[in-house]
Amino acid sequence: MNDEIKQYLQPGKKNLIIIYVFYLCGSVAPLLPIIGAIVSYYNRNNTKDDIFISHYSFIIRTFAIWVVGTVISMTINATSVMQVVLSMCILIWLILRVTMGLRYLIEDVAHPNPVTYWIK
């Protein structure tokens, strides 16, 4: 495998940035957050840096909450206004949460509360 590709797959800042971008693109391509969650789960166990571990945990938790919210919104009647409102709220929550996590990563700071349900 090419060395440039390997550096993006190994645990670290570049890998986390790619995963956060995958999550942001998740509203258009729902397969990307799934790939990001798998890579995060694998890399969380292969890194020793506490900063990266907190971000990988945050990303995995974000994925789990996003999946639960999406399943709940899909079980509501398809023609319901409530489904549209809930889906939009989940999308806004996902964008804000990922943006805040990316901000902490760019500042080289561990996520202060990676197990939260909320944005921060």
pLDDT along the chain (120 residues), means of 10: 78 93 89 94 91 95 94 81 89 94 95 86
- pLDDT for 8 equals 81
pTM for this predicted structure: 0.90
Amino acid 84: pLDDT: 87
* Residue 66 to residues 8, 20, 104, 107, Cα–Cα distance (Å): 24, 14, 20, 25
> How many whole angstroms separate alpha carbon 12 and alpha carbon 43?
9
